[in-house]
Copies of this chain bind each other. A is one copy, B any other.
Amino acid sequence: MSNLDSIFSSHSIAVVGASSKPNTVGQSIFSNLLFSGYCGVLYPVNPKAKSISGVRCYANVKEIPGELDLGIFIVPSVVTAQALLEAADKGIKAAIVISAGFKEIGGEGVKREEELKRIVKEHGIKLVGPNCLGVINTDPDVMMNASFAKTMPKEGNISFVSQSGALCTAVLDYAKGNNFGFAKFISIGNKADVNEIDLLKYLHKDPKTDVILMYVEDLMNGYEFIQVARDITGNDENPKPILAIKSGRTDQGAKAASSHTGSLAGSDEVYEAIFNQAGIIRAERVEELFDLAIAFAQQPLPRGKRVAIVTNAGGPGILATDSCIRSGLELASFEETTVEELKKHLPPTANFSNPIDVIGDARHDRYHAALSAVCNDPNVDSVITILTPQDMTDIEDIAWEIVNTSKSCNKPLLANFMGIIDVSKGVQILEENEVPTYIFPESAAKALASMYDYTQWCSRPRTEVRKYDDVDGETVRKIFEKVRQEKRVHLPEIEALEVLKAYGFPTLPSELATSADDALKAAKKMGYPVVLKIVSPDIIHKVDVGGVVVGIDSHNELLDAYLEMTNSVAQKAPKAKLWGVNVQKMASSGTEVIVGMNRDQKFGPLIMFGLGGTFVEALRDVTFRFVPILELGAYRMIQSIRSYKMLEAFRGKKAKDIHAIADIIMRLSQLIMDFPEIQEFDMNPIMVYEEGEGCKVADVRIILNK
């Protein structure tokens, strides 16, 4: 028995702070445990009571006879540590601390929470909470409602991990209203000990859990979270989908907008990166979270994106078609035999192509015929059945037809029974027999699309982190050492270019010139046009001081530019130590992209990709990933920007060299892994050329940590 088993499947529980007083949490939790049919032994602990709800009460934990697995604590926060310690001495393996008054109130509360942490560490106890609603396990062999939620859910194959206790009560009520159940239900509270990563690992192995839901306000450890979640969602033989909703505004104030990349790395983008890399399906709205969860929990995954729609009304059929197309699904084209079959059983006024209209006066026999036909059609991957309550509609019989088809068909079947009151008995039949049903078609289409996305995630090609052997770490190490010795953190471009070259990034011919004459010679050697850029360890934003001149076509222009630049810099940055100017071959024009890296204070290094120039600045059309980046991940980064079409073949123009961009992303990933002292890294712009023509880094900025 693992320690988390002691939380979920204990044989004996001490409820410390159980009470008979109505409207108290101590009363609520004890009676929930007792009346939901807990299969182990319950021991109420309260020095002031002889019995609670007819069960013999103990003055303290020590008095309890026999072994004790789990302690539930509902005592005031000031005495919780003491109570926990006593229970630890009694040998509990796990604890759930319901009480509030810890980290969330600051000050003394923080200290109290530290004390709890110390105790559980010392005694090897697993603790959920404090400041939580509790834990529920609907397994008939356990039947534990260790929470103060009014409702014990019915048994189901969905488990829910929530960072908000109040949302738990709302969700339990919502589940009861919609007739769905849960396997495990956990309010994680302050996460003093057990956190979402521990719970994911546990639920991964839990045979009762097929779908994991999460309400997330913040995560503890982004990188480990990604690894654990990836194992669950797709690296296993039997993957389990994880669906999550993330709340919490992007607190842009908290981020120092110190650099270009930095100012784009809002916290929501960090979570987007985490969810993407972990294969977690993100819901936009709470309702959507459960709409999706029920579909995942009750139906098989679709093999493809071809949907069949069966409806007794035209309008809703069109709405469903719209929604499917908009969600990225396709309408199936039927086999001829399917159409023949339909013609045998449906009236001539019916529509035999997709969406199949069985006509308003259809009864269950027509639905039966249509459903059998589409389920047997190899061109159909999933089915949406729509019912509008019309005069002739035998709603319950049709519901049973759908249920029976669902049981014999290995494709996902979802239903839309449009309405509330008239269709309610049909809806109940569907719900009780695990056919996901929604009032309107849009939700069904969205759910199928999510399931199809997940099918694709599970069957994605598995790639590795590409390992580049052609890199020269020694050179980089020496450069960084020199920077450190000179007590700098910023690498002027000419130095940063050495780093790029050492790691095999495609660079442009460059030369440091310390006089106009040198500059002219360099330009002559590399050929015009060239770019002139000031080189100084003290100037990070070269443009701001007039330190960049592009498109220099001749000796005269170069001379003018050189003089103007040195004048401007002397005026605008009089104290800057100048190394000279960088004469660089001007990149031939291509599509500008940007690849950068910034460190999230909490989660570590994130690589950013986006189209360059105005796209990144004005449209914020960028993607983020944590390092190390797998080969597939690098390509996914590129493909997932909204403007990806700008890089694809289009109207006779060849596709851009995305392999070269992917190469840059993966080289950067390796560089960042090799040198954790890199704080910021910006290649902006990188010029990308047509497929096979590669790309060139036209400007770079590297900043090390302090």
Which stretch from A67-75, A332-340, A420-428 is at the chain B interface?
A420-428
CB distance from A16 to the nearest CB of B (A): 19
Residues A312-326 near B (CB distance < 8 A): 312-316, 318-319, 321-323, 325
Q: Tell me whether A150 and B313 are in contact (CB under 8 A).
A: no
| Residues of the B chain whose Cβ atoms lie less than 8 Å from the Cβ of A167 | 313, 315-316, 319, 388, 418
Does A614 sit at the interface, judged by CB under 8 A?
yes
Partner of A313, one of B166, B423, B614: B166
Q: Among the interface residues A170, A420, A643, which one has the most CB atoms of the partner chain B within 10 A?
A: A170
| Residues of the B chain whose Cβ atoms lie less than 8 Å from the Cβ of A389 | 150, 169-170, 173
The complex places the Cα of A313 from the Cα of B614 at a distance, in Å, of: 41
| Residues of the B chain whose Cβ atoms lie less than 8 Å from the Cβ of A105 | 349
Which stretch from A272-280, A293-301, A453-461, A645-653 is at the chain B interface?
A645-653
| Known A-B contacts A23-B391, A247-B319, A619-B645; A312 and B148 likewise in contact (beta carbons under 8 Å) | no
Residues A426-450 near B (CB distance < 8 A): 439-443
Does A215 sit at the interface, judged by CB under 8 A?
yes
The 4 closest A-B pairs by CB, nearest first: A164-B315, A177-B420, A166-B313, A173-B419
| Residues of the B chain whose Cβ atoms lie less than 8 Å from the Cβ of A645 | 614, 618-619
Q: Tell me whether B174 and A419 are in contact (CB under 8 A).
A: yes
Q: Tell me whether A28 and B173 are in contact (CB under 8 A).
A: no
| Residues of the B chain whose Cβ atoms lie less than 8 Å from the Cβ of A312 | 166
Which stretch from A80-88, A282-290, A482-490, A563-571 is at the chain B interface?
A282-290
* 28 contacts across the A-B interface (CB closer than 8 A): A105-B349, A148-B391, A150-B422, A164-B316, A165-B315, A166-B388, A166-B390, A167-B316, A169-B422, A170-B313, A172-B419, A173-B420, A174-B419, A174-B420, A174-B439, A176-B421, A215-B315, A217-B318, A247-B318, A249-B322, A249-B325, A284-B442, A285-B443, A286-B442, A287-B440, A618-B646, A619-B643, A619-B646
CB distance from A27 to the nearest CB of B (A): 9
Q: Among the interface residues A174, A247, A423, which one has the most CB atoms of the partner chain B within 10 A?
A: A247
Task: Name 17 extra pairs, CB < 8 A, besides A166-B315, A174-B418, A619-B645.
Answer: A148-B391, A151-B421, A163-B315, A164-B314, A166-B312, A166-B314, A169-B388, A169-B419, A170-B316, A173-B420, A173-B422, A245-B319, A287-B440, A614-B646, A618-B643, A618-B645, A618-B646
| Residues of the B chain whose Cβ atoms lie less than 8 Å from the Cβ of A315 | 162-167, 215, 217, 247
| Residues of the B chain whose Cβ atoms lie less than 8 Å from the Cβ of A28 | 391
Residues A397-431 near B (CB distance < 8 A): 418-423
| Residues of the B chain whose Cβ atoms lie less than 8 Å from the Cβ of A166 | 312-316, 360, 388, 390
Does A5 sit at the interface, judged by CB under 8 A?
no
The complex places the Cα of A143 from the Cα of B25 at a distance, in Å, of: 52
Partner of A23, one of B392, B418, B421, B643: B392
Does A178 sit at the interface, judged by CB under 8 A?
yes
Q: Tell me whether A648 and B176 are in contact (CB under 8 A).
A: no
A163 — nearest CB in chain B belongs to which residue? B315
| Residues of the B chain whose Cβ atoms lie less than 8 Å from the Cβ of A443 | 285, 287
Does A690 sit at the interface, judged by CB under 8 A?
no
Q: Tell me whether A176 and B442 are in contact (CB under 8 A).
A: no
Partner of A650, one of B323, B617, B648: B617
| Residues of the B chain whose Cβ atoms lie less than 8 Å from the Cβ of A313 | 164-167, 170
Does A65 sit at the interface, judged by CB under 8 A?
no
Q: Tell me whether A178 and B422 are in contact (CB under 8 A).
A: no
Does A248 sit at the interface, judged by CB under 8 A?
yes
Residues A186-234 near B (CB distance < 8 A): 215, 217
| Residues of the B chain whose Cβ atoms lie less than 8 Å from the Cβ of A287 | 439-440, 442-443
The complex places the Cα of A603 from the Cα of B31 at a distance, in Å, of: 68
Q: Tell me whether A420 and B178 are in contact (CB under 8 A).
A: yes
CB distance from A235 to the nearest CB of B (A): 30
A613 — nearest CB in chain B belongs to which residue? B646
| Residues of the B chain whose Cβ atoms lie less than 8 Å from the Cβ of A650 | 614, 617-618
A173 — nearest CB in chain B belongs to which residue? B419
The complex places the Cα of A319 from the Cα of B289 at a distance, in Å, of: 13
A388 — nearest CB in chain B belongs to which residue? B166
Q: Tell me whether B150 and A248 are in contact (CB under 8 A).
A: no
| Known A-B contacts A174-B418, A391-B150; A648 and B248 likewise in contact (beta carbons under 8 Å) | no
Q: Among the interface residues A105, A360, A642, which one has the most CB atoms of the partner chain B within 10 A?
A: A360
CB distance from A145 to the nearest CB of B (A): 14
| Residues of the B chain whose Cβ atoms lie less than 8 Å from the Cβ of A316 | 164, 166-167, 170
A422 — nearest CB in chain B belongs to which residue? B173
The complex places the Cα of A284 from the Cα of B648 at a distance, in Å, of: 30
The complex places the Cα of A148 from the Cα of B389 at a distance, in Å, of: 11
The complex places the Cα of A366 from the Cα of B173 at a distance, in Å, of: 23
Q: Among the interface residues A217, A312, A322, which one has the most CB atoms of the partner chain B within 10 A?
A: A322
The complex places the Cα of A634 from the Cα of B200 at a distance, in Å, of: 54
The complex places the Cα of A315 from the Cα of B164 at a distance, in Å, of: 5
Q: Tell me whether A321 and B249 are in contact (CB under 8 A).
A: yes
CB distance from A130 to the nearest CB of B (A): 15
Q: Among the interface residues A166, A176, A245, A419, which one has the most CB atoms of the partner chain B within 10 A?
A: A166
The complex places the Cα of A177 from the Cα of B421 at a distance, in Å, of: 6
Q: Tell me whether B422 and A151 are in contact (CB under 8 A).
A: yes
CB distance from A283 to the nearest CB of B (A): 10
Q: Tell me whether B248 and A322 are in contact (CB under 8 A).
A: yes
> What does the 1/0 interface line of A152-170 toward B look like (CB < 8 Å)?
0000000000111111011
Partner of A390, one of B169, B319, B419: B169
The complex places the Cα of A318 from the Cα of B162 at a distance, in Å, of: 14
> What does the 1/0 interface line of A346-389 toward B look like (CB < 8 Å)?
00010000000000100000000000000000000000000011
Q: Tell me whether A419 and B248 are in contact (CB under 8 A).
A: no
| Residues of the B chain whose Cβ atoms lie less than 8 Å from the Cβ of A245 | 319
Residues A509-565 near B (CB distance < 8 A): none
Q: Tell me whether A440 and B150 are in contact (CB under 8 A).
A: no
The complex places the Cα of A162 from the Cα of B316 at a distance, in Å, of: 12
> What does the 1/0 interface line of A622-663 toward B look like (CB < 8 Å)?
000000000000000000001101101011000000000000
Q: Tell me whether B646 and A419 are in contact (CB under 8 A).
A: no
Q: Tell me whether A440 and B286 are in contact (CB under 8 A).
A: yes
Q: Tell me whether A617 and B419 are in contact (CB under 8 A).
A: no
| Residues of the B chain whose Cβ atoms lie less than 8 Å from the Cβ of A422 | 150-151, 169, 173, 176
| Residues of the B chain whose Cβ atoms lie less than 8 Å from the Cβ of A151 | 421-422
